[in-house]
Amino acid sequence: MELALEEREIGDWAVLAVRGEVDVYTAPRLRERLIEIISRGARRVVVDLEGVDFLDSTGLGVLVGALKRLRSNDGELDLVCTQPRIRKVFEITGLTKVFSIHESVEEATSGSGE
């Protein structure tokens, strides 16, 4: 029932670390925070899912929504996700082809973002 969001900046990346369970109850908070980050002008965003215990289709929808919003502004949204149980959700839904999924925040923020 918990969701914790923690933000920091690395270079020109905004990094949002998510901890806890992302479901239809908690996802609105994740969505609001992402919209806030984007409307503050961030173009390159990393969502770090390493601390996520559970992610459902609503959570996927929120990430897809943020990605669309960023792309339409020439921005980019990358993910950090190594946990098999969470990665699997992206694989089943084909979203591994849509998101750049990295092994670590360092790896994500050292890329060009394109």
Partner 1 sequence: MEDRTVELRIPARTELIALTRLVVSTLALTRRELDEERVDDLKLAVSEAVTNAIESYGTDVEGKAVTVFWTEQSDKLEVRIQDVGKGFDLSRLAAHPPVTDSARLQFERGLGIPLIRSLVDEALFEPSEDGTSVCLSMYCGSLSYTGDPAAL
Q: Which positions lie near partner 1, rule CB under 8 A?
A: 1-3, 21, 23-29, 32, 54, 56-58, 60-62, 64-65, 67-68, 71, 84-85, 88-89, 92-95, 97-98
Residue nearer to partner 1 on the CB measure, 8 or 71: 71
Residue nearer to partner 1 on the CB measure, 90 or 105: 90
The CB-of-10 to partner 1 minimum distance in angstroms stands at 25
Q: Counting beta carbons within 10 angstroms of the beta carbon of residue 16, is it exposed (0 to 12), middle (13 to 18) or buried (19 or more)? A: buried
**Using an 8 Å Cβ cutoff, are 34 and 66 in contact?**
yes
Cα–Cα distance measured from residue 37 to residue 47, given in angstroms and rounded to the nearest whole number: 11
